[in-house]
Amino acid sequence: MSETRHTRVLIIGSGPAGYTAAVYASRAMLEPILVQGIEPGGQLTTTTEVENWPGDTEVQGPDLMVRMEAHAKAMGCEVIGDIITSLDTSARPFTAKGDSGTTYTADAVILCTGARAKWLGLPSEDAFKGFGVSACATCDGFFYRGQEIVVIGGGNTAVEEALFLTNFASKVTLIHRRDELRAEKILIDRLMKNPKIEPLWHHVLEEVVGTDSPKGVEAVRVKHVDTGEITEIACKGVFVAIGHAPANELVKDTLDLHHGGYVKVEAGSTRTSVPGVFAAGDLTDHVYRQAVTSAGMGCMAALDAERWLAEQDD
C-alpha cells in the first residue's frame, strides 16, 4: 500500500556516511529516516578485512556495517529497507519516491549514495557478467576453487581482490595497464610476496573468451599497450577492479556536479547547489574515498543540516 512519510531529515544510503549522519541527526533530535538502498551497509559489505578503521586493528567489513546500523538505530534513527527511485528537490518539502510505493517528504535531505564499480565497457565483458566476469571477489571468489583467475586494475581494490582470491584460486594474474600500482604500499608488499600472484604489466583487457553452452569463461585476450601484441591467458574467472564512479543518478540533472559526476559541495561543508540538500561520502569525494572520510563527511552533513533547519525555523 502506498503511504507518505514526512521527516525532518531524510538520509539516502546506508554506508559509513549514511549511518554516521544518522547517529548525529538522531542525537540532534531530528528523528531522521534512513533509506538503505539496494546494498544495505554499502561497499564495505563487499570486502573482508578492514585494517584502517580507527579503533579496530582488523574488522570484517560486513561486521562493521552491522555495528553501524545497530548504532544508528540505537540513537533513534528509523532505518528502512527501500530504494529511492526519484528525488524532487525543486520545491520544499523535498519529495522522494520509494521503490516500495512509499513517498518520503523531508525538510532536508542528506545524500549518501556512495559509488559503484566501474566496468570496461567491452561487449564480451557484458556478455559474461555473472558467468565468469565479476566486480566483487568476496561475493564470487568462492566459485573459483582450484581455478586460474585474472584481476584487472592497479588500485587498492584490485590488489585486495587479487590477494583475497588466492584463498581459492590456483593462480591469479593481476593485469595492469602500467608497471606501477596505485595501491597502498603495505598491500603491494603483500601482493609481491604472494607466490600465487603474477603481475602482468602494460597490458589491457581486449576480450573475454568463453563458451555459450555451458556459459562460462575460458580465457582472456590481453593487449600490450606499447607493442599492441595480443596474448591469450587461460582462466575461468575475470575480476574487473578498475575503480568506482559516484552513484549520482538521483541528482545528476538537478545538482551541480564536477570531476566526472561527483556532487559538488561548498568548500569545507556538505552544502550542495540546492539549499537544504547535503551530500557526504564517496558521492561527493573524488580524492580520498575511504570509510573513515565518508563517516567524517556524514557527521558534517548532519551538523550542516541541523544548522540549516534551525535557520529556516528562525
Q: Which residues bind ligand NAP (CB under 6 A)?
A: 52, 120, 152-158, 160, 177-178, 182, 204, 241-244, 289-290
Piece in contact with ligand FAD (CB under 6 A), picked from 23-31, 113-121, 170-178, 197-205: 113-121
Separation of alpha carbons 128 and 217, rounded Å: 7
Residues 190-249 that bind ligand FAD (CB under 6 A): 247
Residues 6+ apart with CB under 8 A from 54: 292
The three three-digit cell numbers of residue 8, written as one number: 525532518
Piece in contact with ligand FAD (CB under 6 A), picked from 33-41, 222-230, 263-271, 299-307: 33-41
Is 299 an annotated catalytic residue? no
| 3-class SS of residue 76 | coil
Is 304 an annotated catalytic residue? no
In the complex with ligand FAD, the residue whose CB is nearer, 22 or 219, is: 22
Interacting residue with ligand FAD among 47, 89, 102, 134 (CB under 6 A): 47
Interacting residue with ligand FAD among 7, 8, 11, 18 (CB under 6 A): 18
Side-chain-side CA neighbours of residue 218 (13 Å): 7
**Closest by CA position to 22, among listed 286, 293, 306:** 306
Separation of alpha carbons 196 and 191, rounded Å: 9
Q: Are the beta carbons of 134 and 140 closer than 8 angstroms? A: yes
**Closest by CA position to 119, among listed 287, 269, 242, 282:** 242
Interacting residue with ligand FAD among 11, 33, 44, 181 (CB under 6 A): 44
State the catalytic residue, choosing from 126, 139, 189, 256.
Answer: 139
Confirm or reject binding of residue 296 to ligand FAD (CB under 6 A): no
Confirm or reject binding of residue 159 to ligand FAD (CB under 6 A): no
The full length of the chain comes to 314
Q: How far apart are the first and last CA of the chain?
A: 37
Residue numbers of the site for ligand FAD (CB under 6 A)? 12-18, 35-40, 42-44, 46-47, 50, 52, 83-84, 112-115, 157, 160, 247, 250, 281-283, 289-292, 294
Which positions are catalytic? 136, 139-140
